[in-house]
Structure 1
Amino acid sequence: MGRRGVLRAAAGPAPVATPRDRTGVVRTVLRSPVGATSAVLLCLLVALAVFAPLLWGDRAAAIDTDALQQGPSPAHLLGTDQLGRDIFFRVLVATRLTIGLALLATVIGVAAGLVLGSAPSVLPRWAGRVVTSAVNIAVAFPGLLLALFFAVIFGTGTIGAVLAIAFAITPSFARLTQTLTASVAGRDFIAAARVCGVGRFRLLTRHVLPNIAEPLVINSTLAAGSALTAFAGLSFLGIGVQAPSYDWGRLLGEGLNRIYLSPAPALGPAVAVVVAGLAFNLFGEAAASAAGRRPQPVRRTPPAPESIVDDSGGGLLTVRNLRVTFPGGISPVRGVSFTVHEGEMIGVVGESGSGKSLTALAVSRLVEHPGEVTADRLEFDGRPLAATPDRELGTKLAMVFQDPMTSFNPTRRIGRQLAEVSEVHQGMSRRDALAKAVDRLRAVRIPEPERRAGQYPHEFSGGMRQRAMIAMGLMGEPRLVIADEPTTALDVTVQREVLRLLARIRAERTAGVLLISHDITVVAQTCDRVLVMYAGRIVEELPTAELFTAARHPYTTALLAAVPDLDTDRDAPLAVIPGRPPEPGEIGPGCPFAPRCPLAGDRCRTEEPELTAMADGHRVACWRSESELTLAATGGPR
């Protein structure tokens, strides 16, 4: 199942917009004919709402008993009402109350929807399910039916109508917020924030909501148009605005009584409602269309993760019989045991889906429901991992994810994201934390750190983002650094800089390093020990100095054979491992590598071997004898 199954809360989430992207969206909206027209109409409505009562308020309220219920004329463009008041000026003056009440209802409805939609992210799981179920039930009812229902509850009048429209908007907006929140919750920068110990509420307000602001604003604009027409409908029915106040809906109801004699008194407010509703809706549609046409960055889907092994004594990180299980009895990590000592760098290699990264996530307490993590022993720095406070874990354990573009929050500056670690865990002031962030950027050799701290992630190159990600880990005092594919997609020169930086951190801080990689040669050049993972278990562990000479497991030798070197015959086809790794739900009895193994026998297909010692610090999980494995390894392609 791997990392995608753990961290992706929703398939195909919309890419997160940066501040520069949002500026481009506004320009695109204003350049389109529909967007420009709707923007002009909105500006006109706002101007009328502000200035119409000041300019024509007296004329709209003036009673003329000599001009009762007259039709359109040069003196009265839309005629007069039963008291002789000019309907045209009343329509203009009613703009303020109509627009104001519609926006007020929208604000209340959107705010309530945000609270209900984001509540599952901060509430206990059982309470979140109750809120989600209530929202799902409310969404099943049409909005107009909900508005009428709440209007009966709150009673007739302006306040009752505002609350009725607001609560009718709330369920759909809550559903939208839940969906968008779920799409962002699986991003790596959210996982990184959790590792740093950021609380649920702060995680929501600082990292989730800013990244879903664009679609929420667009849908709020559409909701305002719907609220305006719905409010006019309630007033038209007589359960909205009451005399002596008036809005477009009330004026429409009064004009409808004499529509067969003179349609103009009803036509004026009707046109106003239609034009205003179209202005809001068209602007929202134009903004949504512009956001959808925004060029999206090309993202690589991260490969599925992997895991680790060792069974030595106590150390900085001690793991015994670690299992990660998901519903249906699927266990992508099955009985992993290893130890990381201070100042030691351990490499973890294996194909995608072998359980490497999922093991690292379990150690970092990032496997969430419905995943279940169990272990006979899981200790960090001499304490049970479950008993280690989030603040302490976030300070002493640094996680470097493989894709720094998704690990950083794209809406926040790099310096502020680094500074947040010290603000949360060390209680530093905003200024001191930012100064420390600049110092850490300088420590990882990012040029002009003061200027770079004020930039956004998209303004960094890939190598600089990766170094900035390591700098975030150094904001605390890490005893253990977990680097999950830190050199993926980097060129060889940047890759060398990142690996040198990890080695320097290890030497200067005597920190343990857990390096997860697909590149077995990188692990061989930088690590002290290597753990080879396959199908959720460690199949071989040995010192890296002996990797190319003493590796014995058929899977390890096959991995080594698949790596070309200067002696590889360029005329011969490259070595490959036949078949494919089993899916977590496909693992049956016997050795999982047996279907691909040239040495597999009958016992290999019925019993799964355990790690057994072959030499000091060298263990192999295979039923073949040491002599058979040695003969096969030395007589193989390498």
Structure 2
Amino acid sequence: MAQRRAQWSAALRTPVGALSAALVLLVLTVAVLGPILWQDTASAIDTDAIGQSASAGHLVGTDDLGRDIFYRVLVATRLSVVLALIAATIGTITGLVLGMLPTVLPRPLARLVISTVDIAVAFPSLLLVLSFAVILGVGTTGAVLAIGFALAPQFARLTHTLSTSVAGRDFVLAARVTGLSRIRLLFRHILPNIGEPLVVNATIGAGSALLAFSGLSFLGIGVQPPDYDWGLLLREGLNGIYLNPAAALAPGVAVVLAGLAFNLFGETAAGVIGLRTRPPRLPPRPVRKPGTEPGTTDDALLVVENLEVAFPRKSGWTVPVRGVSFTVRQGEAIGVVGESGSGKSLTGLAVSRLIEAPGSVTADRLDFAGTPVLTTPERELRTLLGTSLAMVFQDPMASLNPVRRIGRQLAEVSEQHQGLSRGEALSRAVDRMRAVRIPAAGRRARQYPHEFSGGMRQRAMIGMGLMGEPRLIIADEPTTALDVTVQRQLLRLLARTRTERDTAIILISHDIAVVSQTCERMLVMYAGRVVEDLPSAGTPRHPYTRALLAATLDLETDRDAPLAVIPGRPPEPDRVPNGCAFADRCPLATDRCRAEDPELTEVARGHRVACWHPDAPSAAAGAVSVAGGAK
């Protein structure tokens, strides 16, 4: 609370903040006190002062009944502002609901809602207002509903666009791994990150509603006599504008000042207001003892057979991951290497069940801890994946929710799956932060992601994975963009976690040297499939693996020799050629390589290769070993 008060104080000390506060205070004060102080004066009829222009007795003149226009403008403030706020609230709530529905509805219904909103947005707002006003009837109630419903489509479109942009971020995917339902994801992770633009547009909507309401009253289909608002007063003043311009100018100035107050206040509030919700306390969930999951075995934790990931396009399907098969045993560390676009990260996401429609994931078998991932209902799978599988994404800044404190984000796992109270979960989060060697963990837990360094954010991501009892950690490029010292610290942390907890690790990386030093086994991927599966201490047999090793630099690299490169570039996922995908870049390629795609075949115990010439020496790389690099 103290921090929030400090944020408001700082915002109100800025020029825009101070001006907006002054204008809002002025409008609200007049709205509250106007009818109390000046109602009688504004209603007093003076037949001796009919139609007078501005004077010392009447600052902006009188109307055709001799009533003081200035006091009538002050009294009309309450009705004008209240009706505008009610209409804006109706439009905001309706738009928010319509904009968020596609996030939780099945895809066909979501498309119907989006299409309806798009059609409504295509119509000019004024036309919508007038149409709704005619349908709902002339008068205050009809005008309020007409303006509210007319504001809703644009607010819905903005909400949907913002929520869609956030829904694909890594921290939302990480929250899905913890097992949060779509609705909880919506209120806990998506809405807080789109709160500021929504607040700005809601206040702008209030200003627009004020202007629209004044316009309807001016046209005679809004507020009806004997009530009056600024629009009705503007209409009355227009009749005598040539004799007394101030009679029309006064309500117009009031509309401008009130609209400016709403808009400027929205800019100020956006910096300090967030739509935050407190997660409810859940009852304790039954904790399954290790090894009692149905269908599990002692040595097979993750079984993947013929995994494919496909995405639709205009002329068919793109298959960036095709026919991937591997097994991860309890406590085993395997590395997945390959160039960008080889399908490494998509494989990790598919295993974690994080590929959403329209993407399609199929496999002959995809079992985690004995549970079939693809056929088990999401509700049943949520607890297993939330506590036994941890995902560490490449960019920790994008993987952590920027508007939530680090400690609260870590505590969310225990609140969801272990039934801990808010305080107990936070204590566990601090303990896990200490476990990953974050100094001053208690203080750091109250900080936001931007207050952490890159290495500390990555440690926090690993700590989040340790909030449960993970049996498998999938680390997707966890050392990217970190200096070598921090890289070494994080790799040691993963190794220590594996040793102490018997946790299996899948390390996805571009750096084959890092993988060879960290993992027991290595999967080499190219163009969406595994081309070699070998022990880290073994000798690679595939030309692509040899070329990757030859391109790796170390302290023994000859500085005078030209750097080794792999000519060409990998094929696009929708343009994979017939035969071996590496053939166009391979110095050993033959006609058979270009015509037939080799299967992954075992060439030695624990060593599989997809190549027609696994025994031929590579002209590009020479003799190589994974542990020692190019020789």
Output the TM-score relative to the length of structure 1. Answer: 0.88
Residues 389, 451 of structure 1: alpha-carbon distance in 2 compared, 3 angstrom cutoff: same
Query: Quick check: 384-393 or 447-456, which moved more?
Result: 384-393
Q: Does 1:379 align with 2:367?
A: yes
How many residues in Structure 1 have an aligned counterpart in Structure 2?
594
**Superposed, which structure 2 residues align to 1:103-502 within 5 Å?**
103-281=85-263, 315-327=300-312, 328-386=316-374, 387=376, 389-502=381-494
Corresponding residue of 1:96: 78
Which residue of structure 2 lines up, in the alignment, with residue 4 of structure 1?
none
Looking at structure 2, the residues matched to 567 and 585 of structure 1 have their Cα atoms a distance apart, in angstroms, of 39
Cα distance change on mapping 1:69 and 1:566 into 2, 3 Å: closer
Change in Cα spacing, 1:373 to 1:214, as seen in structure 2 (3 Å) is: same
Q: Is the 8 A contact 1:222 1:285 kept in 2?
A: no
**Equivalence for 1:618:** 607
Query: Which amino acid is 1:340 matched to?
Result: V
CA distance, structure 1, for counterparts of residue 119 and residue 503 of structure 2: 52
| Distance change in 2, residues 1:632/1:313 (3 Å) | farther
After superposition, what is the alpha-carbon deviation per residue over 1:76-108, rounded to whole angstroms, capped at 9, x for unaligned?
A: 122223433211101011112111211221121
Instruction: State the AA in 1 paired with 2:344.
Output: K
Distance 2:578 2:447 in 1: 53
User: 1:565 aligns to what SS in structure 2?
Assistant: coil
Q: C-alpha deviations, 1:370-424, integer Å up to 9, x for none?
A: 1111101111101211215112211111101011101000000011111111111
Equivalent position amino acid for 1:380 in 2 = F
> In structure 2, do the counterparts of structure 1 residues 268 and 31 end up closer, same or farther at CA, with 3 Å as the change threshold?
closer
Q: State the Cα deviation string for residues 286-344 of structure 1 (Å, max 9, x = none).
A: 99999xxxxxxxxxxxxxxxxxxxxx997100000000111132111010000000010
* Aligned partners of 2:199 and 2:269 also within 8 Å: no
Whether the 8 Å CA contact 2:85–2:206 is kept in 1: the answer is yes
Q: Residue 329 of structure 1: SS of its match in structure 2? A: strand
Further displaced range: 372-381 or 42-51: 42-51
Partners of 1:141 and 1:348 in 2: CA distance: 51
Q: Which residue of 1 aligns with 2:15?
A: 31
The higher relative CO (CA closer than 8 Å, separation ≥ 6) is in 1
Inter-partner Cα distance in structure 2 for 1:615 and 1:499: 29
Offset of residue 464 of structure 1 = 0.9
The one-letter amino acid of 1:460's match is F
Match of 1:576 among 561, 565, 572: 565
**Structure 1 unaligned regions, length at least 5:** 1-18, 291-311
User: Please, which moves more after superposition, 58-67 or 609-618?
Assistant: 58-67
- Helix, strand or coil at the partner of 2:457: helix
Q: Contact 1:30–1:39 at 8 Å: present in 2 too?
A: no
**1:162 offset after TM fit, Å?**
1.0
Cα RMSD for the two superposed structures: 2.7
- Structure 2 distance, partners of 1:77, 1:64, is 15
Residue 187 of structure 1: how far off its partner (Å): 0.8
Give the alignment partner of residue 48 of structure 1, picking from 30, 55, 59: 30
2:15 maps to amino acid: R
Give, in whole Å, the separation in 1 of the partners of 2:268 and 2:368: 53
State the Cα distance separating 1:26 from its structure 2 match.
Answer: 7.4
Matched, 1:592 2:581: yes
Amino acid at match of 1:181: S
Q: Name the amino acid aligned to 2:601.
A: T
Q: Secondary structure at the match of 1:46?
A: helix
CA deviation after TM superposition for structure 1 residue 270, in Å: 2.4
- Paired AA for residue 269 in structure 1: P
C-alpha displacement of 1:24: 10
- Take 1:108 and 1:177, find their aligned partners in 2: how far apart are those partners? 15
Identity %: 68
Report the CA distance shift for 1:26/1:214 in structure 2 as closer, same or farther (over 3 A): farther
Query: Per-residue deviation at 1:271?
Result: 2.6
- Cα distance in 2 for partners of 1:28, 1:254 equals 38
Q: Spell out, residue by residue over 1:18-38, the C-alpha distance to the aligned partner (whole angstroms, 9 max, x if none).
A: x99x95997499336xx7655
Gapped runs of 5+ residues in structure 2?
Answer: 273-296
Partner of 2:547: 558
| Contact 2:547–2:621 under 8 Å retained in 1 | no
Q: Which amino acid aligns with 1:383?
A: T
Letter in 2 for 1:130: L
* SS of corresponding position for 2:14: helix
Relative to structure 1, is the Cα distance of residues 632 and 120 closer, same or farther in structure 2, using a 3 angstrom cutoff?
Answer: closer
Distance 1:25 1:123, change over 3 A: farther
In structure 2, the partner of 1:300 is none
Question: How many angstroms apart in 2 are the aligned matches of 1:468 and 1:262?
Answer: 69
Other-structure match for 1:58: 40
